[in-house]
Chains A and B, each alone.
Chain A
């Protein structure tokens, strides 16, 4: 049961989930950046993520690199299938990434880099969502290569997923800023939590329904009340988290709504994994078929098992160093 391809499929899922929630909140800060009314507010917003965004984005490199390393067939087919959205996402990430440095280097052009940060963050989030949607809908494979057309990834469902992820990241960003800021910005972000939360839960519902009805076999899995009945724990848990989220927001909690949003992301991810596993390229290729030989997987596993706890340790330490509120005018302390 617990063989090397399964372990690696699990590790890749963890890396992707870590990416989604970690870069999720700093992309979310970028999406919400227009709500910073002046330079001081925007500085505070950016400074709340400046020391950690680079580490957050490294999980994306691990996701890509890990896919290449463990499931090269999936890496090759999926990235080719999603060519346009992948390139768009990469370009967006470049523009927003350099904005972290560039906007502090110029007065004249600061507004342009502010917009690069906003546009780049939003576009990156949107295209990531589009790819999730296209992934759920399935990818045509012929002779071990992508066999579909240019715009197979484009559909109402994938666009809906794009909007959903932008909303989800914005919610993460708002909840993060409630923790990291105070005064007016904090109040504004707090006011956003309720409508954004409602929108995100609605979108989770829509996307889940879409996922289930997109594929016959997924539907059967969920409604065939036999061996899979335990899966219903996921939607039940999601509903409970959503309820707790609204209560926590109403009680003006600072940290709890953020943690509950992370929980919502985790549950959505679990629902997706439960629906689509064991397919790595739905609806045809399982992770077993896409996996590298055990000699490759074992070699990496040794490193991953030693290094991942160390990485989590010092990443946590870095977060701990920069804990607490970011104050206006305080800059990068």
Chain B
């Protein structure tokens, strides 16, 4: 059974707009190098250039972490400092844009991010877990409970599974 943590880390970036009229772009990130190229999620608008917040969801003994104010270049690519790259090596997370109208990001648990992805003013959830050798990220509608999208990243090693 997964241990429950209560970690509330609300990050309000710019003017909050719960009723934004556009969906929130999202990319999935696997940190393998100082220079990181986000993975595009099928059917989801990817983050573009600008400023982004990297939300690294946790699993098991690995805590959640938010890295704000990353400068994104074309295609949402970004560069970490050597220290950041060393600390975050191997982590999987989601990149969200930081600009006017971005909703509040809340980590309600180490493996669950609440954010309005659909622009309807309701917080949706993005959850994270590990299967035998991959990381799974799943977005779920806060309105209907239906899956909005899912993405899998192969880790190339076996891990202690946390998915139900």
A complexed with B: no
Interface residues of A (CB under 8 A from B): none
